[in-house]
Amino acid sequence: MTDDERNKLKSIEILANLIHSEEHRLKLANENYLKRVYANFSVPAKADNRSLEKISQMTTLVCFYPDMIDQIVRLNLLEFIIKISGPQYAASIRSNAVLALSLLTYHEKMFDELIKRGVIDLVMDLCKDVSGDILVKQYSTLALVHFALNKRSINILISKGVMDLFNSFGSIDNGII
């Protein structure tokens, strides 16, 4: 690994740590630091796995904090998160993406967009993937539970066969979800 690569990873790690501080996270948002970071990762396939994993961790943190919802919308992070949940990415990146999706269900402002963008289908497909990583399946299950906690999505989940999906979880590689 080159010095530039190490510095890039360290920079992303520092930014991620700053997300925990309300003062710093708002400064990162208001002074467009986050916009610049995500602009560099707008095409995730061009990023190296280590950097993308750090960015996916930071994205999960951004989604955790309710005061970041306007940034999430403004930066169109949902598009980024959906992209990095794809099978071409490492399980660690995908699990961070699915956890971020799960956290977004708590934001009423994002809920309709999650439904419209087919996130329930995406998450259910991840749960059904027999060759999928168990950590991705765990976070996918958590996301489905978070969707189920919202009364507006119960009928959608039922119509998509979520009850059959939950009944089949016991047979996934002897793993416990």
Fold classification of 3-171 is Leucine-rich Repeat Variant (1.25.10)
pLDDT tens digit string along 29-47? 899 999 988 988 877 767 7
Nearest to 56 by CA among 23, 122, 103: 103
Model-wide pTM > 0.95 = no
Q: Are 41 and 83 in contact (CB under 8 A)?
A: no
Q: What is the mean pLDDT of residues 160-175?
A: 60
Q: Helix 91-104 and helix 49-64: axis angle, to 10°?
A: 20
C-alpha 35/C-alpha 17 separation (Å) is: 17
C-alpha 134/C-alpha 127 separation (Å) is: 9
Least confident range from 41-45, 56-60, 94-98: namely 41-45
Quote the pLDDT of residue 174: 54
